[in-house]
A and B are shown apart, each in its own frame.
Chain A
Amino acid sequence: MQQFLDTTLGGLVLGAVYAAFALALCLIWRSTRIVNFAQAAMAMVTTYIALSLINVDVPYWVAFLAAIAAGFVLGAVIERVIIRPVEGKAELNAVILTLGLFMVLHGLTAITFGVQHRGFPAPVSTSAISVGDTSIGITPFGILTIVVVAVVMAGLVVLFRFTDLGLRMRASAFNGEVSRLLGVRVGRMLTLGWALAAAVGAVAGMLIAGGDLVNPAFMDPFVIYGFVAAVLGGLDSPIGSVIGGLILGLSLSYVTGYVGEHLAPLVALGILMLVLLVRPSGLFAAAAARRV
């Protein structure tokens, strides 16, 4: 029972991070119909930026904000310079492009910061909370992770549902041509979508790194887990991405806890295949004639 509780709580924390990642993928998919396979590498870069700030005694939360800002700028620059030429072209091109970007960011980070593992600080304790004599399987940092992800999601919901800017972004994602006729600066909205997604990814990167070791490869599994979570919930649906992230986090946590940690990616693959074969548009997306 104790183990079950621990695994579940651990899975929720993990799921929150996957959810943030899936959300970032979903934002980009909705605006440009591209799956950004470089998402994890972008988040890794911003995490390293934060780490180098922390190493020169910048307070943690300032570094956290700097990572978000760096992600925002990085996302905008990448969309403008690299992605813009392939928008609306063959879908294979965009996939290959983001994979190339993944390799470049990965290698450049390794060259700049070295490949060795480095400790990453956490703003709050990363040892399990204990109630009385028994420790329960969640850390203050885990709680912080869930809270931060929830805040980010709430922020996005407010942005998209209740602001003029959010409406314009939704409009340009829904139908660029018509939005352009109505006076929306569609190009700018797409850039903003990428920037926001990269900022969300940067938050996820900080949450994964906190209290752990980082090296240029530390985000690699999230390339696939973020994708699986997003597809599980439906690439089109932000709420779906979040729920997909939580489901994936819990499932992988149970597999790691009870079967063996090395099987986790295989289980993720199994989940992905099952979803794509049974419900290709994901659990929470409106039905479409063809998606997969």
Chain B
Amino acid sequence: MERLSSFIGPLVRPVRSVPLAWHLLVGLLAFLVVATVIGSSSQYLQTRYAEMAFFAIAAGGLTLLTGLSGQLSLGHGALMAVGAYAATLVLERTGGETLADVFVALLVAIAVCAVVGVIVGVPAARLHGPYIAGATLTLAVAVPRLANQWEFLGGEQGLQVPVPRAAELPAWIQDLVWFFTAAEIDQYSFLAYLGWLLLILAFVALANLSRSRVGRRWRAVRDDDVSAELAGIHLGRARVVAFTVSAMCAGLAGGLMAMNVRLTAPGAFTITLSLTLLAAVVLGGLGSLTGALIGAGVLAFLPHFATDLGESAGLSATQAAEVTPVVYGLVLMLVILLAPAGIVGSLRLFLARSSLGSSTKEKTT
């Protein structure tokens, strides 16, 4: 083992010391692994993976905001709604059949959410604790209701989302997928590939951001706002930037969600969605992108287990669907009561403690 690390060490170290290069390398490797898994999965699993991807993007944005900048947002469901509607409206105009249409729609979703993020972030920057929770919760309730107010947003029934057909994709993508996975790319696997590609790009960007000067400022603001201000950090600006970045992630996630669900309706963006995202980041560990990924995995895969469990316990289908929110709620409560650092945070603490223990042992012997 040691010989191996002494071999690899000098090769890896220069890459390791440049965060962007390291994150890109990890991201590339991750994408290759994920693409292989997606290519060899059933349609059902591909849909789950796609779902996990957009949840993870939204959760990544939220964990950045709550964990690094210290602001809680319960309004990310609403921001996802904004992204979803923006993407849907663009796809409706363009027809949404080619890859370019898809990317334009997602870019518009991100841009619109950036604007909304600034608008919400400026007043939110002055709030803390229960106040920002209440304000963003109000946002979560208020925004989806607007779809019922204006005709062009489709009302309660919502808007149909056109989805790219696999046959319209550029030939080289089809060839590439065929080459690596020996399977034709179809609509479901396409959405899974797209989701994970964007997820990895977003996470590389977020990981880089959090290790940059901007990220250090956010941590300073979170830990002690007075000292941060004395050190010359503009508190409001740091918080608004954090909120905007987070909102852009939610917008991208919303756009992807619209393509996956293929229907954009206010009923999909309830308070429960916002709270579910919160459950994902709290479970994974606030501030940790790995934690956000774990949480998103739970969001994508748990509902089916929970519903099956409920039905096997003799509940009707509508009742069994309610088992999932109960589990999320219990998760929120138990994590806060028993392990406030979440899965990743607790693991880190455990590892730190055990390595501390072993190093002191070495010293004593």
Give residues in A with beta carbon < 8 Å to B: 34-35, 37, 82, 85-86, 91-97, 99-108, 110-111, 114-115, 216, 220-221, 223-224, 227-228, 231, 260, 262-266, 268-269, 272-273, 276-277, 280, 291-292
Judged by a CB distance under 8 angstroms, whether B174 is at the interface is no
- Structural contact, B128 and A292, CB atoms closer than 8 A: yes
Question: How many Å lie between the Cα of A276 and that of B125 in the bound state?
Answer: 11
Q: Is B344 an interface residue (CB 8 A)?
A: no
Please determine whether A100 and B331 come into contact, CB atoms closer than 8 angstroms.
yes
Cβ–Cβ contact A102 & B336, under 8 A: no
Sort A-B residue pairs by CB-CB distance and give the 8 closest, nearest first: A100-B332, A103-B329, A107-B326, A104-B329, A265-B142, A35-B130, A91-B129, A100-B333
Contact B123 A95 (CB under 8 A): no
Residues of B within 8 A of A114 (CB): 316, 318-319
A163 to B323, CA, bound (A): 45
In the complex, the answer to whether B141 meets A224 with C-beta atoms within 8 Å is: yes
Residues in chain B near residue A292, CB distance under 8 A: 126-128, 131
Instruction: List B residues 134-149 near A (Cβ within 8 Å).
Output: 134-135, 137-139, 141-143, 145-146, 148-149
Contact sample, A vs B, 7 pairs, CB 8 Å cutoff: A93-B336, A99-B278, A106-B329, A223-B137, A263-B149, A268-B142, A276-B126
Residues in B neighbouring A93, C-beta threshold 8 A: 336, 340
Q: Are A221 and B141 within 8 A (Cβ)? A: yes
Judge if B272 is at the interface, Cβ distance under 8 Å. Answer: yes
Of the residues B134, B138, B279, contact of A100 by C-beta under 8 Å: B279
Return chain A residues, CB-CB under 8 Å to B315. 111
Contact A268 B275 (CB under 8 A): no
Contacts A227-B134, A231-B134; is A111 near B330 (CB within 8 Å)?
no
Verify if B19 is at the interface (C-beta below 8 Å from A).
no
| Chain B contacts for A231, CB-based, 8 A | 131, 134
Residues of B with C-beta under 8 A to A82? 333, 337
Closest residue of chain A to B148 (Cβ to Cβ) is A262
Establish whether residues A95 and B130, one from each chain, have CB atoms under 8 Å apart when the complex forms. yes
A111, B333: Cβ atoms under 8 Å? no
Among B279, B318, B326, B331, chain A packs the most CB atoms within 10 A around the CB of B326
Q: Count chain A CB atoms within 10 A of each CB in B130, B146, B333 and give the residue with the most.
A: B130
Interface residue? B72 (CB, 8 A): yes
**Is B34 positioned at the interface, with any CB of A under 8 Å from its CB?**
no
Interface centre among A107, A265, A292 (most CB of B within 10 A): A107
Q: Does B35 contact A (CB under 8 A)?
A: no
Q: Contact: B318 with A265, CB < 8 Å?
A: no
Q: Which residue of A115, A269, A276 is within 8 Å of B142 (Cβ)? A: A269
Q: Is B74 an interface residue (CB 8 A)?
A: yes
Tell me if B322 and A227 are in contact (CB < 8 A): no
Q: Does B24 contact A (CB under 8 A)?
A: no
Check A92 against B325 for contact (C-beta < 8 Å).
no
Q: Are B148 and A96 in contact (CB under 8 A)?
A: no
Give every chain B residue within 8 A of A35 (Cβ-Cβ): 130, 133-134
Q: Which residue of the partner chain B has the closest CB to A85? A: B337
Contacts beyond the supplied A100-B336, A103-B275, A276-B126: 7 A-B pairs with Cβ under 8 Å: A35-B130, A95-B129, A100-B279, A220-B271, A223-B271, A262-B145, A272-B134
Task: Please determine whether A102 and B326 come into contact, CB atoms closer than 8 angstroms.
Answer: no
Pairwise interchain contact B138-A97, C-beta atoms closer than 8 A = no
Establish whether residues A269 and B135, one from each chain, have CB atoms under 8 Å apart when the complex forms: yes
Pick the contact of B138 from A216, A228, A280 — CB < 8 Å? Answer: A228
Query: Does B328 have its Cβ within 8 Å of any Cβ on chain A?
Result: yes
A273 and B141 form a contact (CB under 8 A): no
**A92 to B129, Cβ gap below 8 A?**
yes
Q: Report if B282 contacts A (CB, 8 A).
A: yes
CB distance from A77 to the nearest CB of B (A): 14
CA distance A169 to B330 in the complex (A): 31
- With both beta carbons as reference points, the residue of chain B lying nearest to A91 in the complex is identified as B129
**Chain B residue contacts of A34, Cβ below 8 A:** 130
Most buried by B among A223, A228, A265, A269: A269
Instruction: For A109, give the chain B residue with the smallest CB separation.
Output: B322
Looking at the assembled complex, report how far the CB atom of B322 sits from the nearest CB atom of chain A, in whole angstroms. 4
Chain A residues with Cβ under 8 A from B282's Cβ?
96
Task: Tell me whether A99 and B138 are in contact (CB under 8 A).
Answer: no
Are A269 and B329 in contact, with the CB atoms below 8 A? Answer: no
Instruction: Kindly state the separation between the CA atoms of A37 and B322 in the bound complex, as whole angstroms.
Output: 19
Whether B329 lies near A102 (C-beta < 8 A) is: yes
Q: How distant is the Cα of A104 from the Cα of B333 in the complex, in angstroms?
A: 9
- Is the Cβ of B322 less than 8 Å from the Cβ of A115? yes
CA distance A95 to B129 in the complex (A): 8
B15 to chain A, nearest CB (A): 36
Q: Choose from B135, B146, B318, B331 the contact partner of A273 (Cβ within 8 Å).
A: B135
Residue of A nearest to B281 (CB): A96
CB atoms of B149 and A96 under 8 A apart: no
Whether the Cβ atoms of A265 and B145 lie closer than 8 Å is: yes
A273 to chain B, nearest CB (A): 5
B149 touches A115 (CB 8 A): no
Q: Bound state CA distance, A227 and B340, in angstroms?
A: 25
Measured in the bound complex, the distance between the Cα atoms of B326 and A197 in whole Å is 24
Residues on the B chain within 8 Å of A110, using CB: 318-319, 322
Enumerate chain B residues within 8 angstroms of A37, measured Cβ to Cβ.
133-134, 137
Nearest to B320 among chain A residues (CB) is: A111
Q: Tell me, rounded to whole Å, the shortest Cβ–Cβ distance linking A165 to chain B.
A: 27
Instruction: Determine how close the nearest CB of chain B comes to the CB of A257; give it in whole angstroms.
Output: 15
- Specify which of B126, B142, B272, B337 lies most central, judged by the most chain A CB atoms within 10 Å of its CB: B142
What residues of A have a CB within 8 angstroms of the CB of B143 in the complex? 266
A103 to B280, alpha carbons, bound, how many Å? 14
